[in-house]
Amino acid sequence: HINNALSKDEWNNGCMDSMLYQTTMILSVFGTGYLLYSAMPKKNN
């Protein structure tokens, strides 16, 4: 169990899960978008 740092299991049952899921989705979307953008050949400008 890695819940040593946040031992408030009663609180982060529903709220923390949705927050973590949203943060992970946003980070993954922005990460892939940034990777694709930086991998594109910049011949537009």
pLDDT (0 to 100) of residue 22: 92
pLDDT for 41 equals: 81
| Domain assignments of the chain as residue spans, ordered by start | 1-27
Contact 3, 9 (CB under 8 A): yes
pLDDT (0 to 100) of residue 14 = 72
Nearest 5°: CA angle at 4, between 2 and 6? Answer: 100
Written as tens digits, the pLDDT of the chain (45 aa) is 555 555 556 555 677 788 889 999 999 999 999 999 999 887 765
3-state secondary structure of 29: helix
The whole-number pLDDT of residue 32 equals 95
Q: CA 6: distance to chain centroid? A: 18
pTM for the model: 0.49
